[in-house]
Structure 1
Amino acid sequence: MYNIKESFYSLQGEGAHAGRPAIFCRFTGCNLWSGKEKHRLSASCQFCDTDFNGVDGQNGGRFQTADALAEHIAAQWPTNQGNKYVVFTGGEPALQLDEALITSMKNRGFTIAIETNGTLELPNGIDWVCVSPKTTEPLVVNSGNELKFVYPQINLHPKDYEDLEFEHFYLQPMDLSAVPQSNVIVSDTQSSTLKYCLENPLWRLSLQTHKMLNID
């Protein structure tokens, strides 16, 4: 069974594919935080700004088979339009995404992307891999298309990842809205991120344009 918090058609707001139409499928659950506020301060990732618990979001639900979920996702794409693109996210999508679902989506003509914390092995067949480190535990996924580092973090530093095999390296200002005040390093994460990119030109700036435009 696949547990889906929500799924929706929108524009990718960040990273290398910013502006690209996509269906976002958000899986329930994460291996770095329970999603409950009472557990945030003891979690490996304390700055998550996403609700990934339950199946009560937009187009959420429980799906018994890969084909059932793939059909549910595919129905959200504009009728008779190509360039089909789905982004599996979470929570941590690697807890549930498997080769059966990947095959079902490809059978329906979709290019498949994942946004993962990189701590779990990924199934074969994913077309675009975006890793966003959020724990001091070693990455299991240490190569891919895009490494997106949320900046700044207390225990992690961008330089720790510069030798990994990724095509793109992005620095994204941390959204402080959900961060415990005891963990706030700087009050203006956009300025500090911009400064770091200018001083370290391997890194490109990634902004969450979907928040700026007030879209899903």
Structure 2
Amino acid sequence: MYSIKEMFYSLQGEGAHTGRPAIFLRFSGCNLWSGLEKHRREAICQFCDTDFIGTDGQNGGKFKDATTLADTVSRLWPSNQQNRYVICTGGEPALQLDTELILAFKDLGFEVGIETNGTLPLPKGIDWICVSPKGRSTVVVKQCHELKLVYPQPDAMPDRFTDIDAGVRYLSPKNPYDSDHLIISEQSSTRACIEYCLAHPQWRLCLQTHKILKID
């Protein structure tokens, strides 16, 4: 049984695949925050802006097996079009994504990507791994195609992750929540990212273009 918050077809808005059409498959649940505001202050990840509770989102639900879920995802892709790509996200998709589901996607011609906090081992067969460390959590995924770090995080500064073998490294400006729920300036976070990237050119600036362009 897979619990899915939502799934939809759109363009990837950030990172190395920016602009690429994809099915976004959002799994319910996370191991770093319950998703409830009353628990945010004590959570390891305190700045998440995503609703990953339950199964009531667009095309969400509970799916009894991998084939059923993969078939449902496939129906969202444009008819008779190739270059199929599904992004497993959350919440934390590694809580549910397994080899059986990956193989079901592959049978339907999908490339499979994942956006993960990196705290859980990943099944084999994933084509694109994006690791986004959060707070004081321990990252166990040490090889990835893309390391995307929300910045600044006092407990997760870039020099903590020099041991991760990543094809490309991105800094993404922190959204307007800090650990005390006070609104902070997005502009200041963006400026901090720019300055860090200029001083450390192994890092690149990552902007959420889907929000800038108001794309779902």
TM-score band (shorter)?
over 0.9
Who is 1:74 aligned against? 74
Who is 2:30 aligned against? 30
Query: Could you list the per-position Cα deviations for residues 132-172 of structure 1 after superposition, in whole angstroms to 9, with x for gaps in the alignment?
Result: 00032321101110000000012111111133211000000
Contact 1:33 1:44 in 2 (8 A): yes
What's the CA shift for 1:53?
0.3
Q: Equivalents in 2 of 1:64, 1:201: separation in Å? A: 46
Who is 1:138 aligned against? 138
Q: Equivalents in 2 of 1:79, 1:178: separation in Å? A: 43
Q: Which moved more, 1:36-45 or 1:129-138?
A: 129-138
User: Aligned partner of 1:35: which letter?
Assistant: G
User: Aligned partner of 2:132: which letter?
Assistant: S
Who is 2:201 aligned against? 201
What's the CA shift for 1:187?
6.3
User: Aligned partner of 2:23: which letter?
Assistant: I
Contact 1:48 1:178 in 2 (8 A): no
Q: Equivalents in 1 of 2:213, 2:186: separation in Å? A: 24
Stretches of structure 2 that go unaligned for 5 or more consecutive residues are: none
Who is 1:118 aligned against? 118
User: Aligned partner of 2:20: which letter?
Assistant: R
What's the CA shift for 1:94?
0.2
What's the CA shift for 1:200?
0.6
What's the CA shift for 1:188?
1.3
Tell me: CA distance 1:208–1:41, structure 2 relative to 1, closer, same or farther (3 Å).
same
RMSD: 1.6
Tell me: CA distance 1:6–1:44, structure 2 relative to 1, closer, same or farther (3 Å).
same
Contact 1:15 1:148 in 2 (8 A): yes
Q: Equivalents in 2 of 1:187, 1:214: separation in Å? A: 18
Q: Equivalents in 2 of 1:136, 1:209: separation in Å? A: 27
Contact 1:7 1:26 in 2 (8 A): yes
SS of aligned partner of 1:167: strand
Who is 1:56 aligned against? 56
User: Aligned partner of 2:60: which letter?
Assistant: G
Residues matched between the structures, number: 216
Query: Could you list the per-position Cα deviations for residues 7-27 of structure 1 after superposition, in whole angstroms to 9, with x for gaps in the alignment?
Result: 000000000000000000000
Identity of aligned residues (%): 57
Stretches of structure 1 that go unaligned for 5 or more consecutive residues are: none
User: Aligned partner of 1:93: which letter?
Assistant: P
1:65-214 paired onto structure 2 within 5 Å: 65-176=65-176, 180-181=180-181, 188-214=188-214
